Structure 1
Amino acid sequence: MPELLLALDAGTTGARAMLVDPAGTVLGVDKRPIASYFPAPGRVEQDAAQVWNICRAVLDGALVAAGRSITDVAAIGVTTQRASIVLWDRASGEPVAPMLVWSDLRGMEQFKALRAAGFTSWPQVPSAKLPAAIALSGRDPADLQWGTLDSWLIYKLSGAHVTDASAAWLTGYYDYAAGSGWDAALLAHQRLPATMFPAQVESWGPIAESDPAVLGAAVPITALVADQAAAMVAHGALARGDWKATYGTSGVLMTGTGEVPETIHKTMPAEALAFAGGKPRFCVEGMVITTGSLIEWLCGGLGLFASPAAMEAAAALVSDAGKVVVRPSLAGMGAPHGKFEARGLIAGLSFADGPGQVARAALQGIAFRFREIADVIAGALPVPEALPVAGGLSASDTLMQLQADALQRPVRRHAVREASAYGAALAAGMGAGLFGEDHLKRLARYDAEFVPKVRRDEADAAFARWRDAVAV
């Protein structure tokens, strides 16, 4: 009897698959990079066919790593980065335009026009960019289907054209007034046929079944949830006030608000966390747009460090950053600023400073950006004392200690850094009926806790100096 859970997690810079047993033990993982292309300033594209091939490969890779086969898998969960656009031909199923990544800003003028017309939109969401994608294709919209990356991967796995609320909410097309479905007025405004749009399904439960010709067996797909929501599942953080931070390509601090949508700040509007079992769950989030990508840029783009590990070592060798400050905003500043035109900043350099000060200032800049968001959330919602964290960059002990110092809170690091993949596997387990939501807290395991090592007055003074130096 198959009992294993297979998760597919397609992020912005890479895809991974993870095989997990019902006790939460990770049996096998495979991950591979995804290339982005930058045809012009503010434009970020990927090849949707290439992304699918990579995802297909990591699914096989995780099974091989665990010494298992697809016939051992009871259920599949899929999670992806949000708000990217894939456009494909209805008849052939082939992509007809580049995939527009969530961070692509070519929709800025359309976003402004939609806001002026009374529609909900943001610069990075699909409603601001789908018309541009259709124009790139040169095709009649009636002949096309579209979806965010989750929809595309489910389509390739099963032939189903679906999405869930956690992804649909951030398309700009969601019918926020009705609480489900698509905004018919916006579709009419942009002259888009409803047949282009995926059906909305619950985040976990019966969703689709894999095509045996694709994976070698018909396996139930029982979870479809956006990456940040999947990470909340990994922490068992689905109740009002539950929170977590993810340090990936971008950084996200997300907090549950319960069964009612709630906006706590103009840059942190209500979002859907998950809809399952007929029950809605909502959340708010603040984004540090440039997080892991800042480290990659300092290493690759500027060539200051041979690798992220070398940068971590350099930061750990110095006791402080001196007067060096870094604002991690190479692609704009998210919450609580909402200034997408802002760019990165390195300041306060002197001849006395070296790579260690720059490395430490970069990590501290990330920690302080998270504090800006945490201060807003903690002022509005009943959050717990400790902050659970995960994501690739959470492996940096230096960053985690700087984060605990900045927040003046304990920081608890998940034992599975790839929390989105782990959460997708657990959501698939819930969707398949292998265990319930009440099991999630027991399945969330932590391997380190970082407690503040500086006094609050010192932390507050350092934060104030940083904010003054990087003010936009």
Structure 2
Amino acid sequence: MTKKILVLDEGTTSTRAMLFAQDGKALGSAQQELTQHYPAPGRVEHDATEIWHRTLACAREMVEAAGGAERIACIGITNQRETVVAWDKNSGEPLAKALVWQDRRTADFCEELKEAGHEAQVQKQTGLLLDPYFSGTKMRWLVRNKPAVAAAAKAGTLALGTIESWLVYKLTGGARISDASNASRTLLLPLGSAQFDDDLCELFEVPKAALGEVTDNAGNFGVTLPELFGAPIPITGLVGDQQSATIGQGCLSPGETKATYGTGAFILANKGHDIPTSDNRLLGTVLYQENGKRTYALEGSVFVAGSLVQWLRDSLGLLGTASETETLARSIDDSGGVVIVPAMSGLGAPHWQPEARGVIAGLSFATGRAQIARAALEAMAHQTYDLAKAFAADGAEWTSLKIDGGMSANDWMAQDIANLLDLPVERPDFVETTALGAAMLAAKGAGLVASLDEASSTMRGAIGNFTPSMESGVRQARVAAWQKALAAA
């Protein structure tokens, strides 16, 4: 009997479990939404206990669907990156709400570090910029502002980690690790160092003893407690969601590039074994680590993508469903001059303006739901265009782009990206490549395949293509209107 692969895909707005056959075929999925807490403007929190309980419930549903834990070969975990959990390593209970990657409360501290001249050295070591997006400043904030976290730090019982660390701890009953892809997003791990750095921990005032051991992305990371699923299941794959999607897209050779359009938009280009550098405010990051050897990526991160459509639907009531945007976009010839700059959580790469706020420009009495919906989708292509220029300036020019994520299922948006970039765009028939990448790593870690190349060739499905078809004058006018609106943001 061929056993199945269970993937826990813990995202920003929901958590889910997916069941895969060893050939990569998706066999089932269970999903639950997560409560978003917004205690103040610019602050975003999650309940780590809710994340655990809902992830566990989804996992149990898939284990039952598989016929029991004995029919699961291994577990792969992929997760929202940069989000920070503080818990007591003795009791296993969270000590505060988790600070989500979108949270901007540490912007002032980042500015202080910049003014003190630290950014150049931090970027040289970690590949990252001084921005509230990353985990290190969030950890510092929790230690300084939450009495229970501070007390645990003093007592030596504090555990700090990103979401994969939290889930592995809960699943195994105490393992404290952080995979290299997630660890590289903390500001605490030099890209060329095996473990978290003493000097960086001191700079960000993070107690190093609270952090887990940095590990590979495929391997033996422990087994689940028998009582969780009826029998222990080995955990053999761990990876941050954007790195996971890059692997799931088969971007295993230098130069291959993918873009994931989910809550945010994240573009990664494989840079091989050479530590990447950027003169255009892109990020260097660990793509994956095998047997202590790292493959790196150059990354551009956009904070608002699908969450813009969610905002139009839930906060403004302009949409009934997210999929309605495609019908509305096709119902008109253009956006009527409407341009949306979705800087609700500041601007990410290549601008890095944490205090920027969203702009809707070009409104008139002719503006209706269709124009705003189309402008929201066009914003995805506009932001991708800015990143394409930055990658090219860093010597990583794209010749094509592989896209995935929930928003990429929108055919109109996929074609618009191809048009504005003037590049072919590839989209797999199975767009949930984040989960697929974690399944590929888990398969490698469990010995079901000999290499990621083998996993890619056997587990990835069919590919669709979008060919550019926009006149250059139209493209230039779109870019000019975007740049004007961007200046206002």
TM range (shorter): over 0.9
Alignment partners' CA distance in 1, 2:211 and 2:336: 53
Match of 2:159 in 1: 145
Is 1:130 aligned to 2:143, yes or no? no
- CA deviation digits over 1:77-123, x for unaligned, max 9? 11111111111112111111111111111112222334427362422
**SS at structure 2 position matched to 1:123:** coil
Instruction: Say if 1:354 and 1:194 are closer, same or farther in 2 by CA, change over 3 A.
Output: closer
TM-score, normalised to structure 1, is 0.95
Matches within 5 A, 1:274-293: 274-293=288-307
**SS at structure 1 position matched to 2:75:** strand
Matches within 5 A, 1:83-102: 83-102=82-101
Match of 2:33 in 1: 33
Shift of 1:267: 1.9
Match of 2:314 in 1: 300
Matches within 5 A, 1:2-401: 3-64=3-64, 66-115=65-114, 116=116, 118=118, 120=122, 121-134=130-143, 135-138=145-148, 139-141=151-153, 142-158=156-172, 159-176=174-191, 178-189=192-203, 192-381=206-395, 385-401=399-415
1:127 maps to a residue whose letter is G
Alignment partners' CA distance in 1, 2:396 and 2:199: 37
2:469 maps to a residue whose letter is K
Alignment partners' CA distance in 1, 2:304 and 2:280: 20
**SS at structure 1 position matched to 2:385:** helix
Check conservation: 1:241, 1:381, Cα contact below 8 A. Answer: no
- Unmatched runs of 5 consecutive residues or more in structure 1: none
- CA deviation digits over 1:192-234, x for unaligned, max 9? 4432110111011222211112222221111111100100110
Pick one of 438, 448, 462 that aligns with 2:464.
448
Check conservation: 1:236, 1:440, Cα contact below 8 A. Answer: no
Shift of 1:146: 1.2
2:152 maps to a residue whose letter is D
Moved more, 72-81 or 314-323: 314-323
Alignment partners' CA distance in 2, 1:355 and 1:26: 36
Alignment partners' CA distance in 2, 1:451 and 1:379: 24
Instruction: Say if 1:286 and 1:192 are closer, same or farther in 2 by CA, change over 3 A.
Output: closer
Alignment RMSD: 1.8
Match of 1:437 in 2: 452
Check conservation: 2:287, 2:297, Cα contact below 8 A. Answer: yes
Check conservation: 1:235, 1:440, Cα contact below 8 A. Answer: no
**SS at structure 2 position matched to 1:207:** coil
Check conservation: 2:15, 2:54, Cα contact below 8 A. Answer: yes
1:140 maps to a residue whose letter is A
- Identity over the aligned pairs, expressed in percent? 36
Shift of 1:382: 5.1
Moved more, 371-380 or 282-291: 371-380
Instruction: Say if 1:318 and 1:152 are closer, same or farther in 2 by CA, change over 3 A.
Output: same
- Unmatched runs of 5 consecutive residues or more in structure 2: 123-129
Alignment partners' CA distance in 2, 1:425 and 1:35: 26
Instruction: Say if 1:389 and 1:172 are closer, same or farther in 2 by CA, change over 3 A.
Output: same
- CA deviation digits over 1:7-27, x for unaligned, max 9? 111111111211111111111
Instruction: Say if 1:67 and 1:230 are closer, same or farther in 2 by CA, change over 3 A.
Output: same
2:71 maps to a residue whose letter is D
Alignment partners' CA distance in 2, 1:169 and 1:123: 15
Alignment partners' CA distance in 2, 1:351 and 1:190: 50
